[in-house]
Amino acid sequence: MICFNIMDQNLIFQNILHHITVDFNGIVLSSNDTLFKVNLGSNINDFHPIFISSIPQLLSQEEKIMAYPGLNITQNSTQVFCDITIKKEVNFISIIFFNFTSAYISKQQATQSRNEKEIKRQLGNKKS
Amino acid sequence: MAHPKKIVLLGHFGVGKTSLIRRFVESQFSEDYLVTVGVHVKKKEISIDGNNITLVIWDIEGNTSIDKARKSYLLGTSGFIYVFDISRPETFESLETEMKYLQDNFENVPVEIVGNKKDKFGEAVSEEFFKTQRFENCTFTSAKEGDNVEDAFEQLTRKMLAI
Ligand SMILES: Nc1nc2c(ncn2[C@@H]2O[C@H](COP(=O)(O)OP(=O)(O)O)[C@@H](O)[C@H]2O)c(=O)[nH]1
Ligand SMILES: [Mg+2]
pLDDT digits (tens, 9 = 90+) for B91-124: 999 999 999 999 999 999 999 999 999 999 998 7
Q: In what order do the strands lie in the sheet containing A17-22?
A: A28-31, A17-22, A93-99, A78-88, A65-75, B39-48, B51-60, B4-10, B79-85, B111-116, B138-141
B-chain residues near A88 (CB < 8 A): none
Interface contact flag, A104 B73, Cβ < 8 Å: no
- pLDDT bin (cut points 50, 70, 90) of residue A8 is low
Mean pLDDT for chain A?
89
3-state secondary structure of B79: strand
Check if the beta carbon of residue B109 is closer than 8 Å to that of residue B99.
Answer: no
Residue B157 CA to residue B68 CA, distance in Å, equals 26
Instruction: Name which of A25, A52, A60, A114 to mutate to probe chain B: the one with the most chain B Cβ atoms within 10 A of its Cβ.
Output: A52
What pLDDT is attached to residue A14?
Answer: 57
Percent of chain A with pLDDT over 70: 86
- Show Cβ contacts of residue B44 under 8 Å, excluding neighbours closer than 6 positions: B24, B25, B54, B55, B57, B153
Instruction: Name which of B21, B37, B54, B58 to mutate to probe chain A: the one with the most chain A Cβ atoms within 10 A of its Cβ.
Output: B37
pLDDT digits (tens, 9 = 90+) for A39-73: 999 999 999 999 999 999 999 999 999 999 999 99
pLDDT at residue A128 above 50? no
Interface contact flag, A104 B38, Cβ < 8 Å: yes
CA distance B76 to chain A (A): 6
Residue A69 CA to residue A51 CA, distance in Å, equals 14
What is the residue-level pLDDT of chain B in tens, covering all 163 positions? 567 999 999 999 999 999 999 999 999 999 999 999 999 999 999 999 999 999 999 999 988 899 988 889 999 999 999 999 999 999 999 999 999 999 999 999 999 999 999 999 998 799 999 999 999 999 999 999 999 999 999 999 999 998 6
CA distance A18 to chain B (A): 19
Q: Looking at the whole model, is its pTM more than 0.90? A: yes
Check if the beta carbon of residue A84 is closer than 8 Å to that of residue A60.
Answer: no
* Closest to A86 (Cα-Cα) out of A100, A69, A108: A69
Mutate to test the pocket of ligand 1, among B27, B29, B33, B63 (most ligand atoms within 8 A of CB): B33
Average pLDDT over residues A25-39: 95
Q: H/E element holding A94?
A: strand A93-99
What pLDDT is attached to residue B76?
Answer: 94
The chain B residue lying nearest A85, using CA atoms, is: B72
Nearest residue, CB atoms, B56 vs list A49, A81, A127: A49
Q: Which domains does chain B have, with CATH numbers?
A: 3-161 (3.40.50.300)
pLDDT at residue A125 above 60? yes
What ipTM, to 2 d.p.? Answer: 0.91
Across the A/B interface, how many CB contacts are shorter than 8 Å? 84
Interface contact flag, B37 A70, Cβ < 8 Å: yes
Q: A6-127 — its CATH code?
A: 3.30.450.20
The angle that helices B17-26 and B149-161 make with each other, rounded to 10 degrees, is: 90
The finding on whether B110 has its CB within 6 A of some atom of ligand 1 is no
What pLDDT is attached to residue A16?
Answer: 83
C-alpha B99, offset from chain centre: 13
Residue A58 CA to residue A66 CA, distance in Å, equals 7
pLDDT at residue A38 above 80? yes
Instruction: Inform me whether the C-beta atom of residue B40 falls under 8 Å from chain A C-beta atoms.
Output: yes
* Closest to B21 (Cα-Cα) out of B156, B130, B134, B161: B156
